[in-house]
């Protein structure tokens, strides 16, 4: 299973675009990249999943370069309510990999 590395914490300001990068140097050919968000005292919530290039939904965008050794979660125009822990996970959907959440990135949005 590919190991992921992401910053422990980040600060940003309301209205800014926030980019959180995750490194996964040993990603396998069939692995997908998934991001979850966890607010204090709540369970994690799925944000987005992708395999290559760019994926966008109503919450975020996920950018994956051609070598797929890293990925960037982009949150447009953040608000205070985006303060949360963000987890990057990598795994093969078809092989039934056991994903590892790790410690995530603690994002703190300032007014």
Which residues lie near another protein (CB under 8 A)?
Answer: 32, 34, 41-46, 49, 87, 89, 91-94, 96-104
**Smallest distance, another protein to C-beta of residue 86, A:** 12
- The b/e string for 92-104 (b: 16+ C-beta within 10 A; e otherwise) is beeeebeeeeeeb
* Closer CB to another protein, 54 or 93, in the complex: 93
**Smallest distance, another protein to C-beta of residue 20, A:** 17
**Smallest distance, another protein to C-beta of residue 94, A:** 8
Q: How far is residue 89's CA from residue 80's CA, in Å, rounded to a whole number?
A: 24
């Amino acid at each position: 299973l590919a190991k992921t590395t992401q910053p422990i914490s980040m600060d940003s300001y309301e209205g800014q675009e926030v980019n959180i990068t995750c490194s996964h140097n040993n990603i396998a050919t069939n692995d997908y990249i998934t991001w979850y968000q966890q607010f204090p005292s709540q369970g994690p919530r799925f944000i987005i999943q992708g395999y290559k290039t760019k994926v966008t939904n109503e919450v975020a965008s996920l950018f994956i370069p051609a070598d797929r050794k890293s990925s960037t979660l982009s949150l447009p125009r953040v608000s205070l309510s985006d303060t949360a822990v963000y987890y990057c996970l990598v795994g093969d959907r078809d092989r039934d990999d056991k994903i590892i959440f790790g410690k995530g990135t603690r994002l703190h949005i300032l007014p």
